């Protein structure tokens, strides 16, 4: 019994210390990578005239026949190019998955995509827990036809991919199609989740500027905007997607424990996300001059959504499955 008590005592004391050490180590890594990043000289002249974003997976939907979950998948269409950002969570391991089911309900053909863009390799973006563990993704738990589909990821995909998919590891800012960019991988140390690498889309819309389309926003909206401004001479006019602000309640609860708030920050739990973080994010978006804003509900609570609606008024777009967000002509 004394040995058991000693062991439990070591766990109680040692585990938080270990997690704090890993978190601090990751923060130092992030700071070093940020300091080392030098914006390359890019040809940023190309642009698109049309841009629309259709959420196919998210936590809210326009009507009840559409499946919802705490995951993300957006169909991004720009000047005839069709990109899918993420594939959702498929929390129940279904076939057809919520992604395929919603696409069918909405009359969306996912068989002729130009590219798949994985923002990062967390389960709610790659199709499930097994996919996250094995560093791969799936559209569903059954077959889905693909043909010569490039899959852009900020970290190597080492697991088995669906037939017809070609993994492309993004290591620096990359133009995927004319005017459509990955801003390159950005890392952040997250409590429990470890060091997480994410990239976001930056799309140059003619006569408007840059539209940021974001999966989870783990690098923080402040850093994402700063990265965009370092790469492109055009203003940020739109911010659409997840920014991870589960302040009062979350979409993944374990009893009274808000798991999203616990795991998605670079702070220990007793110093976690606050209302101030939301207001700072809103201020950063306003300072950048964005006039089109939409916040994903998959990783932000209803209170945060209300703050964004109030802050941006008519410039705010509801991010709901089935509702098209038009940002170009």
Q: What span, in angstroms and rounded, lies between the C-alpha atoms of 43 and 180?
A: 12
Mean pLDDT of the chain: 94
Crossing angle between the packed helical segments 275-288 and 302-312, to the nearest 10 degrees: 30
> According to the model, what pLDDT value does residue 6 have?
46
46, burial (CB in 10 Å: exposed 0-12, middle 13-18, buried 19+): middle
Residue found by looking up tokens 């997480």 in the block: 196
Q: Spell out the domains of the chain, with CATH numbers in brackets.
A: 50-326 (3.60.15.10)
Tokens of 237: 């006019």
> According to the model, what pLDDT value does residue 129 have?
96
- Tens digits of residue pLDDT in 254-313: 888 888 988 888 998 888 899 999 999 999 999 999 999 999 999 999 999 999 999 999
Q: What span, in angstroms and rounded, lies between the C-alpha atoms of 243 and 278?
A: 9
- Tens digits of residue pLDDT in 82-134: 999 999 999 999 999 999 999 999 999 999 999 999 999 999 999 999 999 99
| Cis omega (within 30 of 0) for bond into 272 | no
Q: What is the average pLDDT across 59-79?
A: 97
C-alpha closest to that of 320 among 113, 61, 95, 111: 61
pTM: 0.95
> According to the model, what pLDDT value does residue 13 have?
55
- Tens digits of residue pLDDT in 144-154: 989 999 999 99
> According to the model, what pLDDT value does residue 7 have?
46
pLDDT of 19 above 50: yes
């Amino acid at each position: 019994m004394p040995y058991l008590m000693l062991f439990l005592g070591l766990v109680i004391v040692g585990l938080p210390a270990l997690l704090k050490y890993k978190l601090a180590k990751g923060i130092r890594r992030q700071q070093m990578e940020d300091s080392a990043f030098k914006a390359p000289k890019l040809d940023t002249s190309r642009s698109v005239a049309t841009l629309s974003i259709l959420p196919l997976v998210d936590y809210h939907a326009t009507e009840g026949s559409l499946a919802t979950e705490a995951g993300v998948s957006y169909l991004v269409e720009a000047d005839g190019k069709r990109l899918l950002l993420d594939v959702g969570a498929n929390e129940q391991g279904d076939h057809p998955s919520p992604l395929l089911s919603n696409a069918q309900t909405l009359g969306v053909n996912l068989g002729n995509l130009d590219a798949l863009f994985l923002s990062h390799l967390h389960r709610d973006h790659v199709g499930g827990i097994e996919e996250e563990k094995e560093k791969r993704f799936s559209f569903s738990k059954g077959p889905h036809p693909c043909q010569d589909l490039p899959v852009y990821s900020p970290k190597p995909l080492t697991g088995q991919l669906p037939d017809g998919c070609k993994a492309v590891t993004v290591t620096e800012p990359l133009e995927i199609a004319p005017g459509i960019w990955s801003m390159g991988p950005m890392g952040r140390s997250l409590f429990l989740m470890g060091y997480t690498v994410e990239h976001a889309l930056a799309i140059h819309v003619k006569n408007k500027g840059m539209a940021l389309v974001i999966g989870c926003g783990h690098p923080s909206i402040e850093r994402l905007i700063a990265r965009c401004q370092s790469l492109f001479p055009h203003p940020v006019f739109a911010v659409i997607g997840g920014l991870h602000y589960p302040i009062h309640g979350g979409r993944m609860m374990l009893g009274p424990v808000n798991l999203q708030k616990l795991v998605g920050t670079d702070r220990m739990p007793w110093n976690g996300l606050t209302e101030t973080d939301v207001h700072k994010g809103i201020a950063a978006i306003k300072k950048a001059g964005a006039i089109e804003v939409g916040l994903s509900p998959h990783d932000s609570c209803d209170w945060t959504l209300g703050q964004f609606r109030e802050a941006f008024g008519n410039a705010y777009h509801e991010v709901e499955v089935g509702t098209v967000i038009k940002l170009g002509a």
